[in-house]
């Protein structure tokens, strides 16, 4: 677009002319410029310069044939030299001044009028008021107006006394100028239109020229619709003229027409796009191209045609790119779809511009070669240098400039001369760069549109252009990027083409590796067509040649010839050759994503999943190649991650002559009868290999050597995880498994697990039944060496919750306290003598709550070592004990792997004794406890004790374990931290020193008396401390100090808090312990009032069959404060045995509750006669004992 002149590219701007009074010109022109629409100003400082405006003597338009269609400078003339309005500026003082000045004004005006008369230019007279007081008489004004022959409104007084006046004057001037220039352009247009309508012209050229002029004048007036109409008319007129005109020689005639058409088309497209009519513009462009595309012209200058077409596309692309018109969405176009999506994109046009420019280059090359050959044939006919050829006055015409008699003259050219000129011009341009730039532009915008395939098409064309221009580096880079896409999408033929170019690029760049890689990939492409190719068509193909099976074979032969050093490749220029030889060995790496995977694919499957260390296992190596011809492999090297497993495969007849290495390596050479890869046929080789160290044994790669200097290193894949070959996947071919065994093909792995060596050491954990909570439970550990000496042995101990509640790891129990831990590892010890020996620094001994580490001393074969683990349970809970021993079988190999022995043991933790307790009131003594009458909702009435009264506490301990236990002591520890001594607890009988044996399930009871000394609702009684030990441990020697035996294990049982309250009434039943049949005895009920109130009681006695009673039967009584009331009875037993006393019920009126003694309290044993008790000391009265 930049090729076009400025006046063509921008819309025209009306031009006016200012004459005289030069000091005002900058103000006025600046103002007019900024007007909307702007007005250009041609400023003439003096009236003597007005001859510039004078037109040349007009030749008669109608006479004869015009020289051309459009004059080259017509448009610029009207934009810069021919004003529509001339404004004559006079000072007001000149007009009103003396007659000489007036006369001068008149003369100037006359001259001006004579100049502009022929052109219909409008005249405006401006009188410039220089001072405030200037004024001019009405007569002079009229005279001036008459002289100038103008309307009174075009005689303007320009006042400039202050800014408001100045701007007012400027505004008035601008509006007058705009009006007049509009009139001027309309009149001019109308004048020419009238001629058009009359068809008063002799030739088609004039018709076109007139249309063009009308359109331009319309543009001056901003009448875009009319401008468009006449441009289109001119265009059509031109199109009709093509066949008719004979004015110029045929070649030049076509050139001129195309140049004019281009100009008209440009105008039309600009106007259409400007008006936002994108669809119309594209339709117009399409018609434009289709109507001119066939006008190829003479064969010598075909290139001019293609250049022109290319330019059309380029210009339209640029117009489309710069236009702000929105592209209608594809949906709005409806189902008819006259346009493709790309036709709205500049990229499409750029791409085609590049395409035609390339077309142009081909034809130019062709024309140049023919012209050169013809010139050589004709001999050097003297043709003047075309340098003197210049564009002539008409658009699209050229003429020779002749220097005749110091005057320049134009001479028309003959077609032959013109062709020479055009060829010379064509040679000057570097089309390649232009083409590449256009493709790049297109590529970039397609990329932005996310049209990846279009972009790669452009990039492909770009690369080909680079290739043609000999810039192989750039070409290779581009081709490489496209090849990726085609590989991915499987467009094999296209990939073939691209690889062909890449091959040539690397050949020319002197890169044997790339050349071989591309060639191998090409040879392995799935192209199976075997159709023959007639030699005449070979030229159609790129450097790759036709995509045929035979071509693949050729390529493979060529490459292998090169690889074996049999041939060298010369690059096209011959300056560098490709060789693979001693000095340049070549090694190709193929991994699972490489495109060369189709060339050489290796898969390895172990037949087993695990193997013993040092044991042997089977391994199948499968190789596949898609090269069309069989490939001979000289040697295969299999590499593992454990390098001592590596081995080499050779063909059997060949003796390893070159193998001069030591015997150790030679033993890794295996031989097979055949090492030839057929196309699409697995070569399966199965070997027996010895496993190495324990751990993972992985096959890494296979290195195939072909020839002396070429190796392919292929990363092997597992058959189980092997992917299909990318391009061959969908081909019609026989698919076979890499291994003979189909199961192995689906599950085979290139990795095998080599197991650890078998440990030859016994690790024994003993346990003596369940552990008891609180004791230090000892688990003896014994390590016995059977076949291995134990070097730097290490014992790891772990305690794990069996219920999976988590590892009792030290991290979890970070706020470390023994209470929060349920089970705790408290100690590890070795056997005593070792323990003493190894207190040094090398003895590792770490203990944490659930983890321990202990070093084991060196053990010879047959020796044993034992240690003990002490574990303490805080809660009854089963745990898993894991013990693992890691050791080295011998001390020499420090790198050798440790052997591990694992043992685990589940140990139950049990509660040893269950302690229960019970409070009782003393026998036949019932304090009235108010809390028992009205129990609070949340309190336990049984836990209420009478203040200052002695209560009985029975503590019983029951052995819950399966082993007998010995009780050492049982006592109640009163909490000292309570408020003083709140209650006294006394043991009822003296402490027994012997150890009570408690067999499983047995219960042991002890009685305490408790006297609360403080009345408190929450009285702490104390904690029962039970010391016990296992019965079995008593006889054994103490293993962890004397203290264990004495102290035993303490089990504590916290007694609940009791409610100690004052009892208002206490009833005491007094009765002998036994009675004798027929012997009367007395029976009292003593009721003590402990309050300060008078208490009324009611009592009644029920008769009993077994007793004869005397005393008050039914009565009421008052008891004074702090005094007692005694009810006395005399009873005679009538029956012997256990007898119920007559039942007495006492009711407190105030508390409305009765005192009912318990059934046991109301029972007495009646002897039939006086009993006799024989004891050591004599007769002893049986004491009331508390039995339940």
Partner 1 sequence: MASTACFIIVSRNDIPIYEAEVSSTLKKEEAAHEHQFILHAALDIVQDLAWTTSAMFLKAMDRFNDLTVSVYVTAGHTRLMLLHDSRNEDGIKSFFQEVHELYIKILLNPLYIPGSRITSSYFDTKVRGLARKYL
Which positions touch partner 1 (CB under 8 A)? Answer: 330-331, 335, 337, 340-343, 352, 355, 446, 451-454, 456-457, 460, 486, 489-494, 497, 537, 540-542, 547, 729-732
d(CA 121, CA 1135): 165
Instruction: Decide if 144 contacts 95 (C-beta within 8 A).
Output: yes
The set of residues, in sequence order, having a beta carbon less than 8 Å from that of 297 and lying 6+ positions away, is: 250, 251, 254, 255, 304, 305
Give the shortest CB-699-to-partner 1 separation in angstroms.
Answer: 31
For partner 1, which is the closer residue by CB, 412 or 490?
490
CA-CA distance, 325 to 319, in Å (whole number)?
10
Q: Which is nearer to partner 1, 278 or 685 (CB)?
A: 278
Least separation, in Å, of the C-beta of 478 and partner 1? 14
Select 18 or 475, whichever has its Cβ closest to partner 1: 475
> Least distance from C-beta 528 to partner 1, angstroms?
9
For partner 1, the closer of residues 464 and 597 by Cβ is 464
Distance CA 988, CA 926 (A): 20
138-148 vs 99-117: helix crossing angle, rounded to 10: 30
Least distance between partner 1 and beta carbon 422 (Å): 23
Q: Considering the complex, state which of residue 486 and residue 647 has its C-beta at the smaller distance from partner 1.
A: 486
Nearest distance in Å: CB 353, partner 1: 12
Q: How far is the CB of 490 from partner 1 (least distance, A)?
A: 4
Q: How many CB atoms lie within 10 A of CB 183?
A: 15
Smallest distance, partner 1 to C-beta of residue 626, A: 15
Distance, CA of 702 to CA of 717 (rounded, Å):
10
Closest approach, Cβ 74 to partner 1, in A, equals 36
Residue number with CB closer to partner 1 (454 or 797): 454
3-state secondary structure 447-499: HHCCCHHHHHHHHHHHHHHHHHHCCHHHHHHHHHHHHHHHHHHCCHHHHHHHH
> Which C-beta is closer to partner 1: that of 352 or that of 879?
352
Q: How many CA atoms lie within 13 A of 638 on its CB side?
A: 31
> Which residues, including other chains, have CB under 8 Å from residue 937's CB and lie 6 or more apart?
none
Residue 798: cis peptide before it, omega within 30 degrees of 0: no
Residues 6 or more apart whose CB falls under 8 angstroms from that of 1150 comprise 1064, 1093, 1095, 1096
CA distance 591 to 719: 15
- Interacting residues of 847 by C-beta distance below 8 A, sequence separation 6+: 825, 826, 827, 828, 853
How many CA atoms lie less than 13 Å away from 541 in the CB half-sphere?
A: 20
CB of 293 to partner 1, least distance (A): 9
Query: 934: which DSSP letter?
Result: S
Tokens for 900? 């591990």
d(CA 1030, CA 1014): 40
> Minimum distance from CB of 265 to partner 1 (Å)?
19
- State how far the Cα of 264 lies from the Cα of 212, in Å rounded to an integer: 8
User: How far apart are CB 454 and partner 1 at their closest, in Å?
Assistant: 5
Candidates 453, 457, 423; CA nearest to 439 is 457
Q: Cβ 356 to partner 1, closest distance in Å?
A: 9
Neighbour tally for 834: CB within 10 Å: 16
Q: Identify which of residues 348 and 398 has a Cβ nearer to partner 1 in the complex.
A: 348
Q: Rounded to the nearest whole angstrom, what is the least distance from the CB of residue 294 to partner 1 in the complex?
A: 11
Smaller CB separation from partner 1, 527 or 1101: 527
Q: Which one, 388 or 452, has the nearer CB to partner 1?
A: 452
Angle between helices 452-469 and 472-489 (to 10 degrees): 150
Residue 275 or 542 with smaller CB distance to partner 1? 542
Nearer to partner 1, 453 or 902 (CB): 453
Among 193, 453, 490, smallest CA distance to 347 is for 453
Q: Which is nearer to partner 1, 393 or 449 (CB)?
A: 449
State the minimum distance, in angstroms, from the CB of residue 709 to partner 1: 35
H or E segment to which residue 442 belongs: helix 431-448
Measured from the CB of residue 453, what is the shortest distance to partner 1 in angstroms?
A: 5
Nearer to partner 1, 330 or 832 (CB): 330
Residue 1095 φ then ψ, to 5° = -115, 135
253 vs 255: CA distance, rounded Å: 5
Q: Please answer whether residues 847 and 803 qualify as being in contact, where contact means their C-beta atoms are separated by less than 8 angstroms.
A: no
Nearer to partner 1, 543 or 964 (CB): 543
Whichever of 342 and 807 has its CB closer to partner 1, that residue is: 342
Helix (H, G, I), strand (E, B) or coil at 599: coil
Contact present, 611 and 753 (Cβ < 8 Å): yes
φ, ψ at 966 (rounded to 5°)? -115, 135
Beta strands of 3-111 (E only): which ranges? 15-19, 40-44, 85-91
Strand ranges inside 325-448, DSSP E: 389-391, 398-404, 407-412
Q: How far is the CB of 460 from partner 1 (least distance, A)?
A: 7
CB 96 within 8 A of CB 138: no
Nearer to partner 1, 534 or 819 (CB): 534
Nearest partner of 825 among 853, 794, 844, 803, judged by Cα: 853
User: What is the dihedral sign for C-alpha 887, 888, 891, 894?
Assistant: negative
Q: Whole-number minimum distance, CB 366 to partner 1, in Å?
A: 12
CB of 482 to partner 1, least distance (A): 10
Q: Are 646 and 600 in contact (CB under 8 A)?
A: no
The DSSP annotation for 706-721 comes to ETTTEEEEEE-B-STT
């Amino acid at each position: 677009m930049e090729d076009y002149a400025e006046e063509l590219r921008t819309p025209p701007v009306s031009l006016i002319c200012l004459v005289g009074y030069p000091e005002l010109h900058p103000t006025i022109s600046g103002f007019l410029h900024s007007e909307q629409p702007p007005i250009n100003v041609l400023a003439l400082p003096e009236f003597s310069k007005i001859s510039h405006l004078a037109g040349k003597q007009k030749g008669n338009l109608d006479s004869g044939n015009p020289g051309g269609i459009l004059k080259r400078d017509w448009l610029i003339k009207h934009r810069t030299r021919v004003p529509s309005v001339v404004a004559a500026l006079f000072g007001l003082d000149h007009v009103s001044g003396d007659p000489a000045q007036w006369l001068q004004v008149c003369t100037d005006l006359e001259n001006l009028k004579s100049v502009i008369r022929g052109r219909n230019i409008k005249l405006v007279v401006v009188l410039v008021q220089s001072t405030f007081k200037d004024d001019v008489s009405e007569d002079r004004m009229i005279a001036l107006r008459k002289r100038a022959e103008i309307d009174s409104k075009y005689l303007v007084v320009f006042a400039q006394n202050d800014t408001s006046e100045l701007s007012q004057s400027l505004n008035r001037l601008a509006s007058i100028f705009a009006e007049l220039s509009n009139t001027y352009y309309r009149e001019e247009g109308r004048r020419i239109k009238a001629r058009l309508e009359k068809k008063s012209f002799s030739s088609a050229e004039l018709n076109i020229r007139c249309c063009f002029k009308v359109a331009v004048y319309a543009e001056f007036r901003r009448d875009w619709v009319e401008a468009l109409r006449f441009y289109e008319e001119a265009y059509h007129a031109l199109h009709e003229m093509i066949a008719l005109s004979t004015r110029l020689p045929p070649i030049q005639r076509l050139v001129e027409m195309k140049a004019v058409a281009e100009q008209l088309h440009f105008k039309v497209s600009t106007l259409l796009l400007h008006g936002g009519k994108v669809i119309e513009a594209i339709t117009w462009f399409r018609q434009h191209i289709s109507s001119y595309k066939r006008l190829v012209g003479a064969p010598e200058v075909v290139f001019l045609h293609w250049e022109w077409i290319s330019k059309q596309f380029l210009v339209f692309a640029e117009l489309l790119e710069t236009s702000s018109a929105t592209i209608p969405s594809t949906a709005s176009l409806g189902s008819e779809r006259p346009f493709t999506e790309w036709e709205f994109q500049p990229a499409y046009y750029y791409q085609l511009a590049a395409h035609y420019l390339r077309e142009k280059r081909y034809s130019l090359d062709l024309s140049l070669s023919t012209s050169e050959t013809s010139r050589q044939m004709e001999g050097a006919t003297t043709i003047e240098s075309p340098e003197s050829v210049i564009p002539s006055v008409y658009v699209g015409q050229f003429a020779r400039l002749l220097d005749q008699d110091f005057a320049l003259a134009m001479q028309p050219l003959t077609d032959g001369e013109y062709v020479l000129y055009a060829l010379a011009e064509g040679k000057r341009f570097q089309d390649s760069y232009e083409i590449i730039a256009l493709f790049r532009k297109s590529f970039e915008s397609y990329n932005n549109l996310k049209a990846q395939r279009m972009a790669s098409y452009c990039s492909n064309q770009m690369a080909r252009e680079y290739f043609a221009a000999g810039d192989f580096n750039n070409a290779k880079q581009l081709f490489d990027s496209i090849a990726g896409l085609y590989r991915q999408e499987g467009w094999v033929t296209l990939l073939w083409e691209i690889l062909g170019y890449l091959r040539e690029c690397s050949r020319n760049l002197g890169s044997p590796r790339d050349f071989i890689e591309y060639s191998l990939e090409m040879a392995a492409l799935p192209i199976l067509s075997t159709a023959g190719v007639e030699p005449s068509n070979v030229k159609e193909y790129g450097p790759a040649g036709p995509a045929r099976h035979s071509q693949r074979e050729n390529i493979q032969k060529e490459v292998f010839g090169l690889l074996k050093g049999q041939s060298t490749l010369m690059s096209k220029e011959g300056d560098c050759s490709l060789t693979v030889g001693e000095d340049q060995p070549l090694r190709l790496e193929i991994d699972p994503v490489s495109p060369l995977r189709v060339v050489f694919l290796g898969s390895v499957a172990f037949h087993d999943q695990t193997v013993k260390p040092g044991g042997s296992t089977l391994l199948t190596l499968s190789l596949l190649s898609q090269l069309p011809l069989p490939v001979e492999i000289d040697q295969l090297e299999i590499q593992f991650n454990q390098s001592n497993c590596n081995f080499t495969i050779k063909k059997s007849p060949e003796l390893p002559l070159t193998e001069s290495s030591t015997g150790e390596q030679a033993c890794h050479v295996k031989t097979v009868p055949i090492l030839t890869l057929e196309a699409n046929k697995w070569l399966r080789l199965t070997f027996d290999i010895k496993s190495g160290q324990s751990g993972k044994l992985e096959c890494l790669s296979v290195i195939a050597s072909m020839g002396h200097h070429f190796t392919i290193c292929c990363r092997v894949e597992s058959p189980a995880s092997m992917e299909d070959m990318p391009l061959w996947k969908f081909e019609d071919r026989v698919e076979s498994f890499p291994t003979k065994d189909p199961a192995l093909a689906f599950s085979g792995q290139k990795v095998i697990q080599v197991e650890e060596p078998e440990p030859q050491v016994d690790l024994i954990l003993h346990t003596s039944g369940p552990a008891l909570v609180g004791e230090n439970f000892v688990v003896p550990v014994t390590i016995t060496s059977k076949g291995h000496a134990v070097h730097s042995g290490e014992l790891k101990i772990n305690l794990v919750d069996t219920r999976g509640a988590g590892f009792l790891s030290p991290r979890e129990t970070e706020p470390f306290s023994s209470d929060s831990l349920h089970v705790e590892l408290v100690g590890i010890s070795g056997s005593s003598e070792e323990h003493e020996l190894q207190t040094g620094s090398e003895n590792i001994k770490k203990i944490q709550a659930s983890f321990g580490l202990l070093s084991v001393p060196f053990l010879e074969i047959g020796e044993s070592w034992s240690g003990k683990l002490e574990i303490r349970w805080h809660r009854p809970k089963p745990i898993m004990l894991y013990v693992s021993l890691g050791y080295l079988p011998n001390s020499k190999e420090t790198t050798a792997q440790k052997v591990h022995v694992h043992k685990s043991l589940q140990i139950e933790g049990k509660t040893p004794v269950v302690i229960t307790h019970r409070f009782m009131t003393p026998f036949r003594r019932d304090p009235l406890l108010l809390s028992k009458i009205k129990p609070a909702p949340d309190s336990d009435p049984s836990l209420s004790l009478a203040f200052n009264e002695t209560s009985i506490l029975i503590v019983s301990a029951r052995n819950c374990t399966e082993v007998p236990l010995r009780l050492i002591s049982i006592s109640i520890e009163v909490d000292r931290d309570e408020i003083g001594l709140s209650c006294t607890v006394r043991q009822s009988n003296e402490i027994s020193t012997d150890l009570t044996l408690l067999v499983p399930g047995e219960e042991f009871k002890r009685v305490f008396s408790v006297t609360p000394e403080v009345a408190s609702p929450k009285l702490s009684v104390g904690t029962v401390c039970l010391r016990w030990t296992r019965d079995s441990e008593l006889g054994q020697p103490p293993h962890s100090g004397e203290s264990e035996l004495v102290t035993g294990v303490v089990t504590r049982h916290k007694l609940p808090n009791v409610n100690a309250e004052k009892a208002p009434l206490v009833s005491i039943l007094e009765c002998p312990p036994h009675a004798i049949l027929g012997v009367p005895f007395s029976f009292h009920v003593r009721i003590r009032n402990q309050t300060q109130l008078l208490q009324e009681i009611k009592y009644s006695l029920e008769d009993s069959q077994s007793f004869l009673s005397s005393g008050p039967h039914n009565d009421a009584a008052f008891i004074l404060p702090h005094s007692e009331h005694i009810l006395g009875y005399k009873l005679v037993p009538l029956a012997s045995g256990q007898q119920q006393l007559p039942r007495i019920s006492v009711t407190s009126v105030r508390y409305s509750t009765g005192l009912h003694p318990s059934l046991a309290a109301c029972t007495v044993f009646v002897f039939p006669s006086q009993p006799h008790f024989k004891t050591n000391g004599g007769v002893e009265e049986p004491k009331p004992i508390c039995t339940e």
